[in-house]
Amino acid sequence: MKTAILTPLQEELAILVAQLEQFGLQKREFRSGGLDIFEFGEVDLLVANGGHGKTQFGIQAQYLLCQVPQIQLLVCAGAAGALSNSLEVGDVVVATETVEHDYNLKFVSRPLPRFAGSHQIIEVLQSLPQTDSAFSVHFGAVASGDEDIVDAARGQELMNLTDCIAVAWEGAGGARACKFNQKCYVELRGVTDTANHQAAADFEANLVTAMCNLAQVVIQWRATLQPSGAAQQDVGAERREAIG
């Protein structure tokens, strides 16, 4: 399944691409319109920047899907704040669904928009063995909205409203683009903070760790889809040990 991963921020993209290379994957870089795209042909993967915020991410996701119609699965991959106490900084969240929490209708009363992640991909990710005890992989809903959650009370309110375990910005933009184009979608997030008054500083301090852990999940997942998947996982494990 040809897959594209879009990261909201350039910093996230740089870390993810560097980690994929350190795992031994060869990249080919090309430009399409305003997008710099990194292709990792061994695992049938494209990686690019999706832009900050739901709207920009949706625009760039739509553009990429038009330029590369062979893409069957789009992944939004980046940082998130933890809403649930079960999450630790550095953990990875696989969104079972993306909930657009800032879609605030006032004329009528309707449930918040919710976009299910691809069941097929989620099942594959659930079947992956946990090979690194430094972080855990969680499965649950992720809240999506153009709002920095930097207050514990607001974080608790949002968790109660949405039943989400983490919060980020762009997921709903990617989900809407995929729904429109009838493509599969899933959101992956590395936890950088706990959505409180220290969120901004924690984000900066923990982004590399969170994205490196997310990259480990991605490479383990993509390796299982190849005939030599087991061997690639072994190589990945060796490289993880080598880079600490």
Average pLDDT over residues 53-71: 98
- The sign one gets for the Cα dihedral 15, 26, 219, 69 is positive
**Bigger pLDDT: 2 vs 241:** 2
Instruction: Provide the pLDDT confidence category of residue 232 given band limits of 50, 70 and 90.
Output: very low
| DSSP letter (8 states) at residue 41 | G
pLDDT at 226: 65
- Is 123 among the domain residues? yes
CA distance 30 to 184: 24
CA distance 234 to 186: 26
- Is 214 among the domain residues? yes
Query: 103 is in which domain, residue-wise?
Result: 3-232
| Range with the poorest average pLDDT among 54-68, 92-106, 224-238 | 224-238
User: Residue 170 has which token pair?
Assistant: 């762009």
Instruction: Provide the pLDDT confidence category of residue 241 given band limits of 50, 70 and 90.
Output: very low
Find, among 159, 136, 131, 147, the residue nearest to 219 by Cα. Answer: 131
- Is 92 among the domain residues? yes
Which residues are CB-neighbours of 130 under 8 A, at least 6 positions away? 136, 137
- Is 19 among the domain residues? yes
Tell me if 230 sits within 8 A of 209, measured CB to CB. Answer: no
Number of domains in the chain: 1
The answer, yes or no, to whether residue 214 has pLDDT greater than 70, is yes
Strands (E), 87-233: 92-100, 114-116, 137-144, 166-168, 184-193
CA of 232: how far to CAs of 45, 228, 242, in Å? Answer: 15, 6, 15
Q: In a 3-state reduction of DSSP, which class is residue 237?
A: helix
Instruction: Provide the pLDDT confidence category of residue 235 given band limits of 50, 70 and 90.
Output: very low
Q: What is the pLDDT of residues 88-104, one digit of tens each?
A: 999 999 999 999 999 99
- Is 25 among the domain residues? yes
pLDDT at 227: 54
Average pLDDT over residues 45-59: 98
Q: What is the pLDDT of residues 147-196, one digit of tens each?
A: 999 999 999 999 999 999 999 999 999 999 999 999 999 999 999 999 99
Give per-residue burial for 84-106: e unless 16+ CB within 10 Å, then b: beebebbbbbbbbbbbbbeeeee
User: Residue 82 has which token pair?
Assistant: 């933890």
Tell me if 22 sits within 8 A of 52, measured CB to CB. Answer: no
The answer, yes or no, to whether residue 70 has pLDDT greater than 60, is yes
- Is 244 among the domain residues? no
The answer, yes or no, to whether residue 80 has pLDDT greater than 90, is yes
The answer, yes or no, to whether residue 243 has pLDDT greater than 50, is no
pLDDT at 133: 82
Q: What is the pLDDT of residues 108-136, one digit of tens each?
A: 989 999 999 999 999 999 999 987 789 99
The answer, yes or no, to whether residue 244 has pLDDT greater than 70, is no
What CATH number should be reported for the domain holding residue 124?
3.40.50.1580
pLDDT at 236: 42
Tell me if 162 sits within 8 A of 173, measured CB to CB. Answer: no
Pairing assessment for the beta strands 166-168 and 73-82 based on DSSP bridges = antiparallel
CA distance 10 to 49: 6
Tell me if 77 sits within 8 A of 7, measured CB to CB. Answer: yes
Average pLDDT over residues 59-88: 98
